[in-house]
């Protein structure tokens, strides 16, 4: 029986793509040393250099003045602007708040996210999603990161459930789905920009393409719906 649902954060509950684009526009307006006509291209290049969030930010802002014309070459100032404005630009995925409100009476809810505590928690507060969670676990303070089993085990302990009583929802095939699977949890993959790798050792228990499909996926994983009757089993 599923008693707890744990979520990834970026590109699962938060629209990181939209949020970082908004931040990049603000950053370019402040620091791009190009004519206004060149600002859009400058912004696109910054987004590329971010590598969908997987480029370490201290490295990004240390290297940035050598890669793009900037009015500032101080990594500390650039990092401070990022930490403030990126949080301010955070956006929830469509329907995220309504989904969490509907799940909270029936399940214990938690977050397991890679990243910096202040930024990840700040984004949850900014979007109003923090209030739905009993546990918010971020790799910086946890001392380990997805897909390591330790961070999933910590999340389970904070919610007081066993792995077989928990479901993990995320968009990254390795960090989220493989990590949770090898921690003994059921998994739901939110299919978005991350392609499923051929070498993946385990498949998700269900696949969805938007958060609105999660309640049906939970019923499937819980055995309340036969796979043959579940429209999302092959078409999500």
- Candidate from 6-15, 19-28, 215-224 with smallest mean pLDDT: 215-224
Q: Is the pLDDT of residue 199 over 80?
A: no
Higher model confidence: residue 175 or residue 193? 175
Is there a single domain that holds both residue 163 and residue 136?
yes
Give me the mean pLDDT over the 77-103 stretch: 98
The pLDDT tens digits of the residues spanning 35-79 come to 999 999 999 999 999 999 999 999 999 999 999 999 999 999 999
Is there a single domain that holds both residue 186 and residue 111?
yes
The pLDDT tens digits of the residues spanning 120-151 come to 999 999 999 999 999 999 999 999 999 999 99
Q: Is the pLDDT of residue 231 over 80?
A: no
Q: For the chain, what is the total number of helices (H) and then of strands (E)?
A: 11, 6
Is there a single domain that holds both residue 40 and residue 124?
no
The pLDDT of residue 192 is 83
Is there a single domain that holds both residue 73 and residue 104?
no
Is there a single domain that holds both residue 109 and residue 128?
yes
**From the centroid of its chain, how far is CA 150?**
18
Is there a single domain that holds both residue 52 and residue 146?
no
Q: How many CB atoms lie within 10 A of CB 199?
A: 6
- The whole domain housing 56 covers 16-88
Give ∠ CA 55-6-88 in degrees, rounded to 5: 50
Q: pTM for the full model?
A: 0.91
Q: Is the pLDDT of residue 230 over 90?
A: no
Please say whether the beta carbons of 104 and 64 come within 8 A. no
Residues 6 or more apart whose CB falls under 8 angstroms from that of 35 comprise none
Number of structural domains in the chain: 2
Is there a single domain that holds both residue 76 and residue 143?
no
The pLDDT of residue 193 is 76
The pLDDT of residue 153 is 98
Q: Which of 25, 58, 88 is the last residue of a domain?
A: 88
Q: Which of 25, 57, 88 is the last residue of a domain?
A: 88
The pLDDT of residue 229 is 43
Calpha distance 135→137 (Å, rounded): 6
Is there a single domain that holds both residue 115 and residue 229?
yes
Q: What is the CATH number of the domain that holds 159?
A: 3.40.50.1000
Residues 6 or more apart whose CB falls under 8 angstroms from that of 193 comprise 11, 17, 52, 171
* Torsion-angle region of 8 (φ positive above 0: left; ψ -120 to 50: alpha; else: beta): beta
């Amino acid at each position: 029986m599923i008693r707890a649902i744990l979520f990834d954060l970026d590109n699962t509950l938060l629209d990181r793509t939209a949020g970082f684009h908004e931040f990049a526009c603000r950053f370019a307006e402040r620091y791009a040393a190009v004519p206004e006509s060149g600002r859009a291209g400058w912004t696109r290049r910054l987004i590329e250099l971010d590598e969908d969030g997987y480029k370490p930010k201290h490295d990004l802002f240390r290297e940035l003045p050598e890669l793009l014309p900037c009015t500032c070459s101080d990594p500390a100032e650039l990092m401070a602007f990022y930490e403030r404005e990126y949080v301010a630009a955070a956006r929830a995925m469509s329907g995220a708040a309504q989904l969490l409100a509907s799940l909270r009476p029936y399940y214990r809810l938690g977050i397991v996210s890679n990243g910096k505590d202040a930024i990840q928690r700040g984004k949850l507060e900014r979007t109003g999603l923090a209030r739905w969670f009993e546990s918010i676990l971020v790799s910086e303070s946890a001392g380990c990161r997805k897909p390591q089993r330790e961070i999933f085990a910590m999340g389970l302990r904070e919610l007081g459930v066993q792995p077989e009583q928990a479901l993990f929802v995320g968009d990254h095939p390795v960090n989220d789905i493989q990590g949770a699977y090898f921690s003994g949890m059921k998994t739901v993959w939110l299919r978005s920009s991350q392609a499923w790798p051929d070498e993946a050792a385990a498949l998700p228990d269900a696949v969805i393409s938007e958060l609105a499909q999660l309640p049906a996926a939970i019923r499937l994983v819980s055995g309340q719906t036969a796979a043959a009757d579940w429209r999302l089993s092959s078409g999500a």
